Structure 1
């Protein structure tokens, strides 16, 4: 029996690595969106991965992204309870540049110009935190409405509504800058 334990443990660790490691980059992007500070994001991912490892025996093997996002939501709630609220997205939480939505890719810059990126980043920064957070989770981090809703503890309808309103505000700013057609100009 003792000889089988190391083998079983190695198999468990291999399964864990195959299931979880492909999602670590996504977890870090989402945690950065939620906390707006690299050190807090890393702590949140570490707590999520630790909880995933502890509870891996109870995991059914289905939809690892959803499982990990649920664990992240729980870890985030636990961290809030321990230290008070984590900093909101987009607020200056320490030294360093604020995260941007659009990075200037050379080909895109030639086609659109730097003004587009500046206007989009300014429009995103002008959004209320609740809207900005949903835009970053869905449009930047690539989460589905259901995944974002579960992570934030909201309904999909609220996520959809916030995203629609945020996109509308961003579009208004782009139209005002002459970068997209306004109403009736399509």
Structure 2
């Protein structure tokens, strides 16, 4: 039998490619999935489905830009799942939970109050943002994705990510200035 006629993928090469290209990106996939779904259990399921699809397709992956390749699979998997799911009827306030939990701090009482107030204003400002802007802030500022990676995860142009992020940051800063928590920028 001709070596080139073999249609069955080599499991050893598949496992090696998966370990090389996919496994180092699992943490990023999880952070992005959590941003997309808003629920830890849903994020775990989304990542699991993404990993299964990536494992099946890793033989055909050329090795260039594994994070971009995986974020595309994640986005497409999320869209496919969203088409078949009934939207959640109730949303808790899980994102705000734990923001003020600072047990064991050795800071002054004033610092704790200012930090709690700061976090409260930021949480309120984030909640008031349109979903598209809030998602971009989460991906770039919290999850640490680059503009290009966030654009790929959301399926929008890089410029759209930059624009949304600029507007979102400006709105958050306006709220912080109004609360007296950051100084106004001088116009000179």
Q: TM-score, normalised by structure 2?
A: 0.80
Cα 1:121–1:12 change in 2 (3 A) is same
Kindly state the Cα deviation for residue 56 of structure 1 after the two structures are TM-superposed: 0.2
CA distance in 2, matches of 1:61, 1:107: 48
CA distance in 2, matches of 1:172, 1:101: 23
Is this contact kept in 1: 2:17–2:59, CA < 8 A? no
2:91: which partner in 1?
93
The 3-state SS of whatever aligns with 1:149 is helix
Of the structure 1 ranges 27-36 and 102-111, higher mean CA displacement relative to structure 2 is found in: 102-111
Match of 1:159 among 158, 161, 178: 161
Aligned length: 174
- The question of 1:172 aligning with 2:168 is answered no
- The question of 1:145 aligning with 2:147 is answered yes
2:6: which partner in 1?
none
Of the structure 1 ranges 54-63 and 145-154, higher mean CA displacement relative to structure 2 is found in: 145-154
2:77: which partner in 1?
75
Structure 1 unaligned runs (5+)?
Answer: 2-7
CA distance in 1, matches of 2:73, 2:107: 37
CA distance in 1, matches of 2:49, 2:160: 27
Task: Give me the CA root mean square deviation.
Answer: 2.8
- Residues 4-43 of structure 1 show CA distances to partners (whole Å, capped at 9, x for unaligned) of xxxx423431331232112111111111111111222112
CA distance in 2, matches of 1:19, 1:108: 43
Is this contact kept in 2: 1:102–1:121, CA < 8 A? no
CA distance in 1, matches of 2:94, 2:26: 22
Kindly state the Cα deviation for residue 108 of structure 1 after the two structures are TM-superposed: 8.3
2:65: which partner in 1?
63
- Residues 130-162 of structure 1 show CA distances to partners (whole Å, capped at 9, x for unaligned) of 110111011111111121112212111211111
Of the structure 1 ranges 105-114 and 21-30, higher mean CA displacement relative to structure 2 is found in: 105-114
Q: TM-score, normalised by structure 1?
A: 0.81
Is this contact kept in 1: 2:74–2:153, CA < 8 A? yes
